[in-house]
């Protein structure tokens, strides 16, 4: 895990192609501008990535905007919220009808 959220310097928009060690069993391309794709990519990287992957692929601003909507494993969520308490009180994004 990074020491600070500011270390998350990944892209905020566009298509990201995951390395094989992260997406070893299937899809590797994810569009960060698509809500489902973004959530899927963040879940994979949060659960499977090492510190270098996390810092290179995740974006601080995007993580803060989407954290409440992400559904990582319970242990992963607890680990991140314990390390970065500012994540605990973030609210889900409003849904557009």
**19 within some domain:** yes
**67 within some domain:** yes
Tell me the residue range of the domain where 81 lies: 5-87
**94 within some domain:** no
**93 within some domain:** no
Domain count, the chain: 1
**63 within some domain:** yes
**92 within some domain:** no
Note the pLDDT tens digit of each residue in 62-76.
999 999 888 888 999
How far apart (Å, rounded) are the C-alpha atoms in residues 63 and 85? Answer: 13
Note the pLDDT tens digit of each residue in 15-54.
999 999 998 878 999 999 999 999 999 999 999 999 999 9
- Return the pLDDT at 95: 59
- Return the pLDDT at 26: 82
- Return the pLDDT at 94: 62
């Amino acid at each position: 895990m990074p020491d600070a959220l500011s270390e998350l310097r990944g892209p905020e928009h566009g298509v990201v192609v995951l390395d094989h060690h992260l997406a070893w069993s299937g899809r590797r391309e994810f569009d960060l501008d698509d809500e489902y794709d973004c959530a899927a990519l963040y879940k994979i990287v949060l659960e499977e990535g090492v510190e270098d992957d996390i810092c290179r692929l995740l974006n601080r601003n995007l993580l803060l905007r989407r954290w409440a909507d992400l559904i990582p494993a319970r242990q992963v969520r607890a680990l991140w919220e314990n390390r970065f308490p500012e994540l605990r009180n973030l609210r889900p994004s409003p849904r557009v009808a």
